[in-house]
Chain A
Amino acid sequence: MMPRATIVALLGTVGILAAAALAPWLKFVLTVALAKGLAVMGILLLLRAGQVSFGHALYLSIGAYTVAFLRPAVPDLLVLLPLAAAVALGVGLVIGLFVARYRDIFFGMLNLAFSMVFHSLLEKLYAITKGTDGIRVFRPTVAGFALERLPYEWAVLGLALLLALGLGWLAARFLVSPLGQALVAIKTRETRLEFAGVSARRVLLVAYAASAALGGLAGALLACTTLHVTPHLAYWTQSGELVFIAILGGGGSILGPYLGSVVYELVRVYAAAALPDAWQMVLGAVLLGIILFASRGLWGLYEDLVMRGWRRA
């Protein structure tokens, strides 16, 4: 029998495809949600180790700008995405060597600092980045085919879905592997890990680099969806959004990030338009509520409601 999470993931896939077919404007929203879900999965890896990064917008923007810069030279989506992930991975490894030495407050704030530096460079180095105007991205080809708008949107959505499923599967395996379990051990008491001869710093570095690559991939998908990149992608509000979705979705399952980001993006389409100057406030209040009263997030609620129902049946 298939594990329940696999069934839910497949049902979710069908649901997303159906929704995108029935309401074409949802395609955009759902692609964005899946892309962010990938980045949130990276945040989830770090949360497993009890660490929270307030700066992962750095990797979103690195992925997005990699696409924007390379698009003239490298026209194909299927090449751009792995390239963006690789660049983010490289940067993540370098910064990770530094931040993986730190925990808790320092870990969170150092990441914020790095992302704010990058944000300001994106804004100020106008000659390279065109500042706040941002860079327009021309629609890439997909596997060599120059697609019209509609099929292109379907292709990106399909690709995002495949990546979410494939990388989600890998991440789920990672979490039960020795490395994934060691990550959880960092949260309880990492000196004990050292007494097993395992470097906690290196374990965290692996997770950090993975989260950077996921962030870069997510940013590249966003760039290929919105076809326009701006420094705003590196702003702290974007990092906050990723953390918010991670907590909203809940850390109990690898599906949490996707559940969280789909719900988040759907609500945001309406709410952010209605409350442009109070959106962060709403997010903050909900975040407080979840942490103080429902710390397992949406996936936890779902488990409580549905899974328990199944068991009873």
Chain B
Amino acid sequence: MALLLLLAVLDGLAYAAQVFMVAVGLTLIFGVLRVLNVAHGSFFAIGGYVAASLGAAIAAAGFSSALALPALLLASAIVGALLGPLIERLILARIYDKEQVLQLLVTFALFMILEDVQKLIWGVQPIFQDAPVRSLGQVAVGDIVYTVYQLYLLPGVALAVLVGLMWFLRRTLTGRVIVAVTEDREAATALGIDADRVYLFTFTFGVALAALGGALASPTTSLVPGIGVNMIVLSFAVVATAGLGQIEGAALTALLIGLGRSVAVYFAPEFEVVIPYLIMVAVLLVRPHGLFGRPQLRRV
């Protein structure tokens, strides 16, 4: 019993780390672009697939497996740099002034497209590439032998992303510009801030974060069609529970939901998928704007 609980907590931490990286990109993009990107889960999936392909290529070329870890980072950078600007400039830039329902439909259309792009490139058979996990070995936690990768690396990277992001947003010029645009778009553009560049940068960054989440997840799970959609609804649940636009809140909520889910995996596996949404619905019933969100006065 205690053993299972410990396992659940360790799994939950590792899982929360992945979810957080997707959710934080989603909430950041929403804060700046005011578009909820339904396709965000697909970037998670594609990040995972690209990382797995890179890993396989490295192994096939006979390079050292120590390269497997940097390859994860490289994968997310590739996905961000390729897909981010392409989608933002080509598609999203056309819809910023449209109604919200149309924005949602457009990103939903993107999501439909990207789901099949995955199937066309990587097929529908599960792909599993665990070289990065093996390269770090295992460690004993009490009576449990756990992978170093999941115990230290995943939560460590997530924590680094959180701290780095807070530092970036508060201490650097670009970060402050992003915050300014988030808080008051019109005032910021009136001050001469180039909103287009901020949008492009933020979106690309968000895509790379989601891809990083996917790349880091790829050695711990089989990549199959549908992981993208599971991730988008889950990360939306995190973002909604935390309150749209809340970054630290997203981290705490990811932890809450990640732990809730992994406890369910061990104790009530049928309800694994239900738990995160139960948490979300319960929170939203009590606090309609999320745990950390503030209500906005509706326009008359």
Is there any pair of Cβ atoms, one from A and one from B, under 8 angstroms apart in the complex?
yes
Q: Judging by beta carbons under 8 Å apart, are A109 and B109 in contact?
A: no
- Docked complex Cα distance between A279 and B119 (Å): 11
Q: Judging by beta carbons under 8 Å apart, are A192 and B300 in contact?
A: yes
Quote the shortest CB–CB distance from B37 to chain A (angstroms).
10
For B95, list chain A residues within 8 Å (CB). 292
For A51, list chain B residues within 8 Å (CB). 101
Q: Judging by beta carbons under 8 Å apart, are B120 and A278 in contact?
A: yes
Q: Judging by beta carbons under 8 Å apart, are B102 and A291 in contact?
A: yes
Interface string of B89-110 (1 = CB under 8 A from A): 0010011000111101110111
For the complex, would chain B's binding face be called helix, strand, loop or mixed by DSSP majority? helix
A258 at the B interface (CB under 8 A): no
Using a CB-CB cutoff of 8 Å, which residues 213-272 of chain A contact chain B?
A: 236, 240, 243, 247
- Docked complex Cα distance between A109 and B41 (Å): 13
A54 at the B interface (CB under 8 A): yes
Q: Judging by beta carbons under 8 Å apart, are A54 and B109 in contact?
A: no
A47 at the B interface (CB under 8 A): yes
B172 at the A interface (CB under 8 A): no
Q: Judging by beta carbons under 8 Å apart, are B233 and A109 in contact?
A: yes
Using a CB-CB cutoff of 8 Å, which residues 59-108 of chain B contact chain A?
A: 91, 94-95, 99-102, 104-106, 108
Set A112, A195, A243, A279: member contacting B105, Cβ < 8 A: A243
Q: Judging by beta carbons under 8 Å apart, are A287 and B270 in contact?
A: no
Q: Judging by beta carbons under 8 Å apart, are A120 and B116 in contact?
A: no
A73 at the B interface (CB under 8 A): no
Using a CB-CB cutoff of 8 Å, which residues 117-168 of chain A contact chain B?
A: 117, 120-121, 124-125
A69 at the B interface (CB under 8 A): no
Set A114, A116, A240: member contacting B230, Cβ < 8 A: A116
Binds B, one of A57-65, A100-108, A302-310: A100-108
* CB-based A-B contact count at 8 angstroms: 122
For A291, list chain B residues within 8 Å (CB). 102, 105-106, 109
A210 at the B interface (CB under 8 A): no
Chain B interface size, as a band, is 35 or more
For B285, list chain A residues within 8 Å (CB). 98
- Docked complex Cα distance between A113 and B241 (Å): 13
Q: Judging by beta carbons under 8 Å apart, are A280 and B116 in contact?
A: yes
Interface string of A38-61 (1 = CB under 8 A from B): 000000000100111010000000
Interface string of B203-237 (1 = CB under 8 A from A): 00000000000000000000000000110010011
A189 at the B interface (CB under 8 A): yes
Q: Judging by beta carbons under 8 Å apart, are A277 and B233 in contact?
A: no
B288 at the A interface (CB under 8 A): yes
B273 at the A interface (CB under 8 A): yes
If A52-B101, A116-B273 touch, does A281 touch B36 (CB 8 Å cutoff)? no
B166 at the A interface (CB under 8 A): no
Q: Judging by beta carbons under 8 Å apart, are A120 and B113 in contact?
A: no
Set A113, A281, A284, A292: member contacting B94, Cβ < 8 A: A292
If A51-B101, A105-B36 touch, does A117 touch B236 (CB 8 Å cutoff)? no
Quote the shortest CB–CB distance from B267 to chain A (angstroms).
14
Binds A, one of B10-18, B142-150, B151-159, B274-282: B274-282
Set A191, A236, A285: member contacting B229, Cβ < 8 A: A236
If A113-B277, A113-B280, A191-B300 touch, does A277 touch B101 (CB 8 Å cutoff)? no
Q: Judging by beta carbons under 8 Å apart, are A104 and B280 in contact?
A: no
For A280, list chain B residues within 8 Å (CB). 112-113, 115-116
5 contacts between A and B (CB under 8 A): A50-B100, A105-B36, A281-B115, A283-B109, A284-B112
A-B pairs, top 3 by smallest CB distance, nearest first, are A284-B112, A281-B116, A284-B113
